[in-house]
Amino acid sequence: MKIFRFSLILFLTIIISSVLCSFYIRDNLSFYNIYLKNIESIDKNIEMAKKEYALLKSDFYTKKDMLQRFINKEHINEIEKNILLIENAIINNELTECQNLSIETQCLITQIIDYTTAID
Amino acid sequence: MISIVTRTTFMFFLVMFALRVMGKKNLGEFQPSDFVSTMLISNLTSIVIEAPELPILYSVIPILLIVCYEIFTSIAAKKNDKFAKITQGSPKILIVKGIIDQKVMSELRFTVNDILEAMRSKNIFYLEEVNLAVVETTGQISIYPDPNSKTNINKADIPPFDIVVDGKYRNKNLDYIGISKQQTEKILNQENICAEDILLLLIDGDKNYNLTLKELV
């Protein structure tokens, strides 16, 4: 019975923590999508884009290590690469390129959310 | 590289812990569910060792979940006989007093060779010596030898060999016994049967034979 209790506690812990993890991943990644949507919708205002980008970047690097514990590192690296490309586009005042990259990153993030949280 | 070393070390101890919690000693004792768990655990372990880009939790969580399921199923099987029958099966009697139950044999997809092999591993060479043979849920065959067989059977110097199995001659074994195919056919003619009707024909060095005919199952 001791082993049963132990496995029951373990099982419930796994189920609860996996649900919490799913929410954590979805919430955080959705948050990046909001920043990216803002960057995408900014027309001809590179300063606004810079502001949004700075928020996105700082948030991403704060949570990067934590996210790597739950998400494939390759996915995180892809997001990071896109974020750096957006930075490069902002520095070069290429707003269209910046918007395209934002859309691309949003697609990538949506895909990752699907991979990690969807129940097929 | 250090990541692979730490991951392997961690996974080694995790799998050791998992198997210890499941309480299995060796492969021979494995029930189907144990076997499935062990297979899955070994595969899951290799995933994170081979792919350092994946979070270690991708293996740890499924392994712990499998351990939980394994414990739940074994406890449920202990409490409920019907559940145990579904998940683990039940022992089946294969041979009673030297007579093979061909229905059980075909049900379990056992061959005559499997039976002979199990007999030989228990130092039993004559089918008549088997009082009871039971196929355990682990797939092993347990044999209870006939206590009177040592006195009743005249054993030859050369033990019985399978001469006809499932209607086909084993020509190599004819040479071991020192009997020709014609002599064997003569025996079969005396019994008024043909080789195709035979499931198993065992003949020993003294030309004593044991005949098991095929049954319609």
pLDDT tens-digit map of B30-82: 777 777 888 888 888 888 888 888 888 888 988 998 888 888 888 888 899 88
B61: closest chain A residue by CA: A14
**ipTM of the complex model:** 0.77
**Cβ contact A4–B71 (<8 Å):** yes
- In whole angstroms, give the CA distance from residue A106 to residue A96: 15
Q: Cβ neighbours of residue B194 under 8 Å, at least 6 residues apart?
A: B188
Q: B68 — contact with chain A (CB < 8 Å)?
A: yes
> A66 and chain B: CB distance < 8 Å anywhere?
no
B195 in Cβ contact with B156 (< 8 Å) = no
Would you kindly state where each structural domain of chain A is located, as residue ranges? 23-117
Asked if A14 lies within 8 A of B68 by C-beta distance, the reply is yes
Q: Are B192 and B172 in contact (CB under 8 A)?
A: no
User: Torsions phi, psi of A78, nearest 5?
Assistant: -65, -45
CA-to-CA dists, residue B92 to B56, B68, B134, angstroms: 43, 29, 6
The larger pLDDT score, comparing residue B139 to residue B134, is at: B134
Q: From 3.40.1350, 1.20.120, 2.130.10, 3.30.2310, which CATH number describes the A23-117 domain? A: 1.20.120
Scanning every residue of chain B, which has its alpha carbon at the shortest distance from the alpha carbon of A6? B68
Alpha-carbon span B205 to B176, nearest angstrom? 8
Q: Do A73 and B68 touch (CB under 8 A)?
A: no
Using only C-alpha atoms, chain A has a radius of gyration, in whole angstroms, of: 18
Q: What's the confidence (pLDDT) of residue B132?
A: 94
Spatial separation of the C-alpha atoms in residues A10 and B68, rounded to whole Å: 7
Asked if B67 and A7 come within 8 Å (Cβ–Cβ), the reply is yes
Contact B53/A72, CB-based, under 8 Å? yes
β-pair partners for B135 = B92, B141
* Cα separation values, A36 from A8, A13, A81, A86, B56, Å: 42, 34, 14, 10, 29
Measure in Å the smallest separation between the Cα of B49 and chain A Cα atoms.
Answer: 14
Name the minimum distance, in Å, from the CA of A48 to any CA of chain B.
35
* d(C-alpha A37, C-alpha A35), whole Å: 5
Q: Cβ B21–A7 below 8 Å, yes or no? A: yes
- Grouping H, G, I as helix, E, B as strand and the rest as coil, residue A1 is coil
- Compute the distance between CA of residue A105 and CA of residue A89 in angstroms, rounded to an integer: 14
In this prediction, residue A44 carries a pLDDT of 66
- CA separation for the pair B53, A78 (Å, rounded): 12
List chain B domain ranges.
2-87, 91-153, 156-217
Is B63 part of the contact surface with chain A (CB cutoff 8 Å)? Answer: no
The percentage of chain B sitting over the pLDDT mark of 70, rounded to a whole number, equals 90
- The continuous run of DSSP H or E covering B122 comes out as none
Q: Which class is B156-217 in CATH?
A: alpha beta
Q: What is the pLDDT along chain A (120 residues), one digit of tens a residue?
A: 788 888 899 999 988 988 888 888 888 888 888 888 877 777 767 777 788 888 888 888 888 888 888 888 888 999 999 889 988 888 888 888 888 888 888 998 888 888 777 665
Percent of chain B scoring above 90 in pLDDT: 17
By three-state DSSP, how is residue B202 classified?
strand
* B124 contacts: CB under 8 Å, gap ≥ 6: B130, B143, B145
Q: Cβ–Cβ contacts within 10 Å for residue B72, how many?
A: 14
Q: Does B57 touch chain A (CB under 8 A)?
A: yes
Instruction: Note the pLDDT of residue B142.
Output: 92
Average pLDDT for B170-180:
86
At the topology level, CATH places domain B91-153 in CRO Repressor (3.30.240)
Q: What's the rounded Cα separation, in Å, for the pair A42 and A37?
A: 9
CB of A9 within 8 Å of a chain B CB? The answer is: no
| Cβ neighbour number for residue A19 with a 10 Å cutoff | 11
